[in-house]
Amino acid sequence: MSGHSKWANIKRKKEVTDAKKSKVFSKMSKLLSVSARDGGGDPDSNPKLRMIIEKAKEARMPKENIERAIAKGSGAGGASEFLEVTYEGFGPNGEAFYIRGLTDNVNRTVSEIRNIFSKHNGSLGGQGSTAYIFQPDPENPLFTTKIDDLKLVEKLESLLEELDDHDDVQDVFVNFELPEQ
**pLDDT single digits (tens) 81-133:** 778 899 999 999 889 999 999 888 899 999 999 999 999 999 999 998 999 99
Domains of the chain: 6-74 (1.10.10.200), 83-177 (3.30.70.980)
pTM value? 0.72
38 Cβ partners below 8 Å, 6+ apart? 48
Q: What is the pLDDT of residues 42-77, one digit of tens each?
A: 888 989 999 999 999 998 999 999 998 888 887 765
Q: What does the alpha-carbon distance between residue 81 and residue 74 come to, in Å, rounded to a whole number?
A: 11
The residues, ordered by sequence, that sit 6+ positions from 133 with a Cβ below 8 Å of its Cβ are 96, 98, 141, 142, 143, 175
Contact call for residues 146 and 178 (beta carbons, < 8 A): no
pLDDT tens-place string over residues 3-26: 667 888 888 888 888 888 888 888
Task: State how far the Cα of 128 lies from the Cα of 10, in Å rounded to an integer.
Answer: 48
